[in-house]
Structure 1
Amino acid sequence: MQKQHFRTVWLSDIHLGHKDCKAEFLLDFLNHVRIDTLYLVGDIVDMWEMSKRLLWPESHNQLLHRLLTLTAQGTQVIYLPGNHDAPVQKYDGLSFADIDIRRELIHTTADGKRLLVLHGDQFDEEVCFGRLHAWIGDKAYDLLLFVNRWYNKARIALGGRYWSLAGHIKSKVLSANIAMQRYRQACVDAAVSRGLDGVVCGHIHHAEVTDVDGTLYCNDGDWLESCCALTENHRGELQILSWTSVKRPNILYAVENTPTRKVA
């Protein structure tokens, strides 16, 4: 099979070391694509989770090795650490194994759009409702992942394909949607304040390509539940891919085929 060629791919929130990391799906995605520039937009290794207990199956080892060897295959790799891999942030501006480490940067698309790229934890204070609310949110998300894990084990055992029940439930929760709106606006405001055309981020595990009053907001999703990547082709067109089947990827949003959703 001929590999699909992308000018740019953004991946975030892989959470290697977490029991819900979908390393097998991401490995399959990387085996089906060629990438000129890859941005690893934070929370690649879940150091928080690993500090509580060590979990590192062979699939996680294979995926980390694959990411580290992409530069030898001609891919430029830039790593922008987030909150779950915060210790790497102190190496901002340095390079290791031909991988550049940056806290944030500006990416220029093939059609000239200038996009701020960062994980997004920089806006936690603007978005968070308070320490108690954040703690409750973390516990609720852990429960969602637990339910999502066992639901999909049963679904696949019955011959179905993976489906993010956690993402579906989150979309129905008012407080979660309010938090996502606040986060989206904080990211867009940061791009506008710098005179940029848009922003690419991760952090909240909700893939989306949205126009907010003329500024492009792109969230590349995660690999705990949605298994999404943000891609750019050689015309500068952006799309989100959800790679939830090793047999057939499902395109969620394709900017070249459907209008970008607008948020007033």
Structure 2
Amino acid sequence: MSQTVVITGAAGKVGRLLRHRLARPDRRLRLMDIVPPEPVAPGEDAEVFTGSVTDLPALESLVAGADAVIHLGGQSRESNMADVLENNAHGTYCLFEAVRRAGVPRVIFASSNHAAGFLDRVDAPADGFPADAAGRPDTLYGWSKVAGEAMASLYADRYGIDVLCPRIGMCMPEPIDVRSLALWLSQDDAIRMFEALLAVESPGFRHLWGISRNTRRFMSLAEGEALGYIAKDDSEAYADGVIQGKPTPDYEHDLVLRRIGGQWCDVPLGEYY
């Protein structure tokens, strides 16, 4: 039976990856972004839409009849409070309300490591921080992801929608610095993760870390594995190249390496209020 999956934020980095890698003969994609997504290519089973995640009527039309929504849309980095409130807090509400009205059974809400940025590896349990660790946001953007997770919980509990909240690390082809050796999510593992979250039966409301099987991680993989996400890649394959010519990483004293949010824990917020 054919499956229809909506992807908001489809013109972004992760959205473009999912567009090409989630495509299969029994799946139709609906792709939406405020920036026009690339036109549909010959033979591609997809539809493209231009619009905002704050436009509730447009979202309701977009998600009607869908089997799942992958919600990547919104403000994707730190910004002023007005942007974060409108595009992330209000936009996430609009998405979940549209899903409720349309009767869509599942949402994958793309949360972020920045929702827990102030968690410190010196406090991590032996198996790493659990994916549902209480929010410790490092920025207004991170706060908006905690708020989005709370909105997801509300709609899961009140309306019975299955909602998966991956707290995504750093999704990129290769790790780019020492901090990313802990947080890296390879592109192949990203696809494994989203495929697992689309397939798992009746998960209810769940968190997981969106990271690969990195030797230097200090976040748990158990919650993702319980949902069928088995990470395979390890950033350690790139570690020598990343560290070459740099001081030996000081995981005991360097707060950029100790905190999940790294340098973002030191971004001043006063200018954003």
**TM-score scaled by length of structure 2:** 0.34
Pick 1 or 2: higher relative contact order, CA cutoff 8 A, min separation 6: 1
**Structure with greater strand share of residues:** 1
**TM-score scaled by length of structure 1:** 0.35
